Chain A
Amino acid sequence: MALLKREDWYDLARTTSWTPSYVSEEVLFPEEMSGSRGIPMQVWETYDEPYKTSYPEYVSIQREKDAGTYSVKAALERAAFVDKADPGWVSTMIAHYGAIPLGEYLASIGEARMARFSKAPGNRNMAVFGMMDENRHTQLQLFFPHANIKRGRQWDWAHKALRTNEWAAVAARSLFDDITTARDAISTAIMLTFAFETGFTNMQFLGLAADAAETGDHTFASLISSIQTDESRHSQQGGPALKILIENGKQAEAQQLVDVAIWRSWKLFSVLTGPIMDYYTPVAGRKLSFKEFMLEWIVGQFERQLLDMGLEKPWYWDILMRDLDSTHHGMHLGVWFWRRTVWWNPAAGVTPEDREWLEAKYPGWNKNWGRCWDVITDNLLNGREALTHPETLPLICHMCNLPIACTPGDGWDGQDWPLEHAGRLYHFGSEVDRWCFEINPDQYKGHQTIVDRFLAGLILPPNLKGALKYMGLAPSEQGQDAHGYAWIEKFRAAKAAAA
């Protein structure tokens, strides 16, 4: 064979830094974009990405991956799984597609930030493949839902959601912008690739793929597990950057970046992924509970990676462990209650079998969350549907932009964590959200939550109708109970039998 092996020339392709002289290094790599933190160029040149690939391998492998993914879609299109699927699963897909594709596109900008401004040449090259990967993820996750566009207006939200001021879209942007596009290259390597992609994309793309396979949605399962193969490659850009920071006395700063990114990601997942996994997906399709997925991917795998790297568990780890039992149940209740304000149809997911499953996975669920659902169920059984819709706005956290949730019933722990900063009063859903703000107030201080905008008179008329309009939700887009309340019939039957 007369071809060289990749390792013969790979190092040359990533030996690309030079000493500029027509402009200074500081001008060519501005600190606000580069984030080299005073660590010299020669040190960044020691960056060694663990997962190596090259241009010819990339285009060949990716071509094959796409051939596979698109042909699964084509082969299964006629079966029209979506028409037969449980409405809860359809909601899962619609919620996922609204939150993800434009976020993927944003991630390609984060990759481009590294590709241009990282002082580590290996990072700059790998990020080119990362830019390409995220371009792929955007296009796949627009092309697939677009095939369903005739099935209802909510499918339009795959493209539309992040372009609106719908509250969950605001919360998603608030996280994505913070860890993806609004920071320097090295912060991006750590927050986006190390923290978010190593930790959380496994949850969304492998956890949900497992549920999809169990549910029988093989198109979705093949799509998102193929996406994860790219994530598992480009997420490895953060590790070597962390190593350089730690070796050069920047451990505390690195730890903080990781801690903020993990907490903020967790909060968004608690409202999007938690309800999907524990309530929308039909019981038979739930491979693991949301908490079990979190324990496997975040606590089991990611925590070990943190420690291997020489970092510590985030200081709030005990709080997170506690919240794994509660936060997403509260979020789910809130989303279902305010269902008209989301672009998907939340499934209540509280039939007797669901509740049995929930009690088994989250002992005590019935005496906390169950009591709220008892009231809702009772109202629905007695023709008081109007009472199952809210009349007020929730309090919104100034960090995660999500409702300040708490555990009702016996475990009542409702608490606001306020902070006054530069003459303005902020509210937070937890002490960790407040901590994220306190260590870096400039990043967030001038931001207005949806409630701030309401109070500032930006939402008119100042009522639910005005809010829905502001959020871009027309009647046929607003969420309804996914099953049209069919799930209460089992309770009615049980009641009748008991009477």
Chain B
Amino acid sequence: MTDSPLPTLKTWSYLSTGARRRPSEYEVVSTGLHYHTLDQNRPWELDPNIPMAQWYKRYRNQSPLRHPDWDAFRDPDEMIYRTYNLVQDGQENYVYGLFDQFNERGHDQLLDLEWVRFLADAYTPSRYLFHALQLGSAYVHQMAPASTITNCATYATADHLRWVTHTAYRTRELANAFPGLGFAECERERWETDPRWQGFRELVEQALVAWDWAEAFTAFFLIVKPAVEEAVLNQLGELARAHGDTLLGLLTQAQTRDAERHRRWGVALVTMALEQPGNREVLTGWLGKWVPLAEAAVEEFCAGFPSDGRAAAQRAKHAMASFRGSLLLAASHLTQPNLDQ
């Protein structure tokens, strides 16, 4: 096998082009896996014009966000499958440890009834919202132009199912502790009709049909998720602590760890995109489209808080804006929150 002019390799030929250092396990198992990006006119080994070929040509290959080598993207966390499970198994042990301990000490029975009613309106319907994030991440997964981007979306999809699962678990516990308040029964109706959720529902329904891969990434990972995370995790978590609901405060804090990881690769991807002329304009255009919807969603959600909803919304919008500021997009009208409402 080695009787030829080709030199012996130390890693895949794909990674051997001029590289001096030994690639990490992350690079060995994650890079260059989307063979269907190689021929831009013929994504699949089938008729080049079937609907699915047209979908990928239009929404992936012809995206206005351009880069000659998306495959050069690297996840700053270098997450791979086996480390993901290690990390998240540990995180889940922590969360289920919380569920166990707080149940043992009768946490729910000590909650104020008004707060419990509020949870039925403003917390347990969140499984629909988290599920929408799960759908959005799964879309970015199947459309991303590089496997290193797809992988980030794979783990994010699983994380969002994790959040759905936490909410489902707590919903059942609250339903057991407080029969008759609509827990485990009325979430869908509240998600579909309660005014506090309609901004978020509109936001995710619209974002889920942003078919261009890069717009879907931008909408979900740079705008929708930060809005959800600041309002439905952080601000709701703060409020919970103030109402003696320590468990919800700790749970949302644990979930935020996942969100921080998503933001790290989101920032890295934007940084890479901005290397190319023209992309700043594309991204600021999308921000201009999605930020107002997201801010409105945050305001409507926080308006339903029992007190200080306006201040909570301001804090959430500030945090969203400061995240956008970290993207180096430097278009001030898009990184400053709209504080007039």
Contact = CB atoms under 8 A, between A and B. Distances in A.
A12 interface: yes
A151 B135 contact: no
Interface residues of B, number: 84
A138 B29 contact: yes
A60 B92 contact: yes
Q: Which of A13, A105, A178, A183 has the most CB of B within 10 A?
A: A13
A76 interface: no
B30 A139 contact: yes
Contacts of A445: 47
Interface in B109-160: 127-128, 131, 134-135, 138-139, 141-142, 147, 150-151, 154, 157-158
A476 B14 contact: no
A374 interface: no
B2 A153 contact: yes
Interface string A404-426: 00000000000000000000000
Interface stretch (B4-12, B222-230, B311-319): B4-12
A116 B81 contact: no
B191 interface: yes
Contact of B6 (A3, A108, A477): A477
Interface stretch (B166-174, B240-248, B274-282): B166-174
Interface residues of A, number: 86
Nearest to B171: A12
Contacts of B154: 108, 112, 131-132, 135
B127 A181 contact: no
B13 interface: yes
A102 B33 contact: yes
A85 B151 CA distance: 35
Interface in A37-71: 54-56, 59-60, 62-63, 66, 70
A132 B84 CA distance: 10
Interface in A102-134: 102, 105-106, 108-109, 112-113, 115-116, 124-125, 127-129, 131-132
B138 to A, nearest CB: 4
Given A135-B81, A139-B29, A174-B46, A116 B142 contact: yes
Contacts of B127: 12-13, 16
Contact of B85 (A28, A62, A181, A443): A62
A447 interface: yes
B19 interface: no
B169 A150 contact: no
Contacts of B45: 170, 173-174, 177-178, 401, 447
A446 interface: yes
Contact of B38 (A54, A129, A163): A163
Interface in A1-58: 1-4, 8-10, 12-13, 15-16, 18-23, 27-28, 32-33, 54-56
A335 interface: no
Contacts of B208: 23, 28
B contacts with A: majority SS: helix
B135 A178 contact: no
Contact of A109 (B53, B86, B141): B141
A40 B272 CA distance: 43
B35 A32 contact: no
A442 interface: yes
B44 A131 contact: no
Contacts of B188: 15, 18
Interface string B65-81: 00000000000000011
B260 interface: no
B192 A18 contact: yes
B52 interface: yes
Which residue, of A56, A106, A124, A155, has the highest number of chain B Cβ atoms within 10 A? A56
Contact of A112 (B5, B141, B161, B202): B141
A63 B1 contact: no
Given A60-B89, A116-B142, A131-B141, A28 B81 contact: no
Given A109-B142, A139-B80, A163 B35 contact: yes
A19 B192 contact: yes
Interface stretch (B96-104, B263-271, B302-310, B326-334): B96-104
B33 A146 contact: no
B322 interface: no
A181 B36 contact: yes
B201 interface: yes
B4 A18 contact: no
A56 B92 contact: yes
Contacts of B82: 63, 66, 70, 136, 139
A20 B151 CA distance: 29
A393 interface: no
Interface in A438-457: 442-447
B25 interface: yes
Contact of A102 (B35, B48, B84, B171): B35
Contact of A12 (B49, B95, B141, B184): B184
Contacts of A156: 9, 12-13
Contacts of B89: 56, 59-60, 63
A153 B138 contact: no
B52 to A, nearest CB: 4
B50 interface: yes
Given A66-B82, A159-B12, A181-B36, A131 B138 contact: yes
A155 B29 CA distance: 14
B325 interface: no
A446 B48 contact: yes
Contact of B142 (A113, A446, A475): A113
B57 to A, nearest CB: 13
Contacts of A173: 35, 44-45
A146 B12 contact: yes
Contacts of B184: 12
Interface string B250-294: 000000000000000000000000000000000000000000000
A383 interface: no
A138 B32 CA distance: 12
A6 to B, nearest CB: 9
B164 A474 contact: no
Given A56-B96, A59-B92, A160 B14 contact: yes
B157 A112 contact: yes
Given A56-B165, A163-B38, A444 B46 contact: yes
A128 B158 contact: yes
Contact of A131 (B28, B48, B157): B157
B158 A55 contact: yes
Contacts of A20: 205
B206 interface: yes
A152 interface: yes
B32 A163 contact: yes
A181 B35 CA distance: 12
Nearest to A62: B85
24 contacts: A9-B171, A13-B165, A13-B168, A18-B191, A20-B205, A21-B205, A23-B209, A32-B55, A54-B165, A55-B158, A56-B165, A109-B141, A113-B142, A116-B139, A128-B157, A131-B157, A138-B33, A139-B30, A139-B80, A146-B29, A156-B12, A182-B50, A182-B52, A182-B53
Given A9-B169, A55-B92, 13 more contacts: A3-B100, A9-B168, A13-B161, A16-B127, A16-B164, A60-B85, A105-B147, A115-B135, A146-B12, A153-B9, A154-B1, A178-B46, A475-B3
The 7 closest A-B pairs by CB, nearest first: A476-B4, A152-B1, A2-B103, A12-B168, A173-B45, A13-B168, A115-B138
